[in-house]
Amino acid sequence: DTGVSQDPRHKITKRGQNVTFRCDPISEHNRLYWYRQTLGQGPEFLTYFQNEAQLEKSRLLSDRFSAERPKGSFSTLEIQRTEQGDSAMYLCASSPPVVSRDTEAFFGQGTRLTVV
């Protein structure tokens, strides 16, 4: 088991461009979370999936953000028409099924987005 994998690790983009990030969760983890973290702050919840179903999306998330998890495996997070305020670390986490003994989420190393 290689842990939660995120790609790319770093992304620099020009304002107005679209970007897409990928997250590969730990195998057999059916829950997948996306968070945004700015410098010195705690992770801010964006959205989460159980299998392929998107269960909740933060009200703070604008319509420029969309996430998918086709087939309940990897997930993508797309940001359209990026703005400088989108610059942050985007964290992905996964957690095992409810029936598992473990309850916590396991985090990836994140994708750092810089919008110039």
Partner 1 sequence: AQTVTQSQPEMSVQEAETVTLSCTYDTSESNYYLFWYKQPPSRQMILVIRQEAYKQQNATENRFSVNFQKAAKSFSLKISDSQLGDTAMYFCAFMKGRDDKIIFGKGTRLHILP
Residues that bind partner 1 (CB under 8 A): 31, 33, 35, 40-45, 48, 50, 55-56, 91, 93, 98, 103-110
Question: Nearest distance from residue 65's CB to partner 1, in Å?
Answer: 16
Nearer to partner 1, 63 or 104 (CB): 104
* Cβ atoms of residues 21 and 84 within 8 Å: no
Separation between Cα atoms, residue 14 and residue 12, nearest integer Å: 7
107 forms beta bridges with 93
Separation between Cα atoms, residue 73 and residue 58, nearest integer Å: 21
Question: Nearest distance from residue 77's CB to partner 1, in Å?
Answer: 15
Question: Nearest distance from residue 85's CB to partner 1, in Å?
Answer: 18
Separation between Cα atoms, residue 13 and residue 17, nearest integer Å: 7
Nearer to partner 1, 1 or 98 (CB): 98
